[in-house]
């Protein structure tokens, strides 16, 4: 069973994506902020990470940088899943090594699941 980590400070959205992923038999791990995510990544190795950007403590871009600069986590595909819709944020995320960049208001949970499947399948 593939494991997905959801990093988001909004509990409703976190639950939403978690439920949708569980419905497709994914093993889901959640983190409420960047700091928690980095801490959990020391012991857990998810197959995909869904990462929000605007979060308290450590923001998504910093988390992404840390993941991509740590040999143990470098290979994990990270899908940015954020409310930020400006093109420059997408460019920044992709340049930092994100696998994909999805706007929450645009990509519905079903589409997010598709992207997760695609990321694992590659």
Partner 1 sequence: MKLMFISNSMLLCLLIVIALSFFFGFLVFITNRGWEKQTNRRFFVFTIAAVIWQITNLIMFFNAKLPNDLFWTRTTYFTGIFGAYFLFRFISTFPKRHLESKSLNIAIESIALIGTLTAAISSMMSQTITSVSYAGNSRSPEFGSMANIFNLTLMALVAFILSFCIYNFKKSNLEEKSQIKYMLLGVASTVLIIIFTDVISPIFTGSNFLSNFDSFSLVFLFGFTAYSIVKYQLFDIRVILTETAAFIVAFAVFVEIFLSDNRTQAIANSIIFILVLIGGYLLVKSVNLEIQRRKELQKLSLQLKEANTKLKQVDAMKTEFISLASHELLTPISAIEGYLSMMLDEKIVKIDNEKAVEYMSRVYTSAKRLARLVADLLNVSRIEQGRMLVDKKEIDLHALIDEVVKELKFKAQEKKHKLLTTVRPNIDTRTYGDVDKVKEIIINLTGNSIKYTKDGGLIGIGIDLWPTRKVESNFNKMQSELKEHGKTSEGSLQNIVNDKFAELIGDKQLVVIIKDTGIGISHDDLGRLFQKFSRVGDWSTQEVQGTGLGLYISRALVEMHHGRIWAYSEGEGKGSTFYFSLPTVEAENQIKQLDAEVPVAKDAKPMAKSAARL
Residue 74 gets which letter from DSSP? Answer: T
3, 47 Cβ separation under 8 angstroms? yes
Using rule CB under 8 A, residue 83 touches partner 1: yes
Least distance CB 86 / partner 1 (angstroms): 5
Select from 18-26, 27-35, 37-45, 63-71 the region that touches partner 1 (CB under 8 A): 18-26
Q: Which is nearer to partner 1, 54 or 58 (CB)?
A: 54
Select from 8-16, 33-41, 61-69, 72-80 the region that touches partner 1 (CB under 8 A): 8-16
Lay out the site mask for partner 1 across 46-65 (x = CB under 8 A, - = otherwise). Answer: --------x-----------
98, 121 Cβ separation under 8 angstroms? no
7, 59 Cβ separation under 8 angstroms? no
Stated length of the chain:
122
The four Cα atoms 17, 2, 49, 42 give a dihedral, to 10 degrees, of 130
Least distance CB 52 / partner 1 (angstroms): 9
Closest to 62 in 3D by CA, of 92, 101, 17, 107: 92
Q: Which residues are at the interface with partner 1 (CB under 8 A)?
A: 10, 12-13, 16-17, 19-20, 23, 54, 83-88, 90-91, 103-106, 108-110
């Amino acid at each position: 069973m593939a494991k997905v980590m959801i990093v988001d400070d909004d509990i409703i959205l976190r639950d939403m994506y978690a439920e949708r992923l569980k419905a497709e038999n994914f093993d889901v791990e959640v983190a409420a902020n960047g700091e928690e995510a980095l801490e959990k990544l020391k012991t857990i190795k998810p197959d995909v990470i869904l990462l929000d950007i605007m979060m308290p403590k450590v923001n998504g871009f910093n988390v992404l940088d840390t993941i991509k600069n740590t040999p143990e986590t470098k290979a994990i595909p990270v899908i940015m899943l954020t409310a930020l819709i400006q093109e420059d944020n997408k460019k920044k995320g992709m340049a930092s090594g994100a696998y994909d960049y999805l706007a929450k208001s645009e990509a519905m949970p079903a589409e997010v699941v598709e992207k997760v499947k695609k990321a694992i399948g590659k």
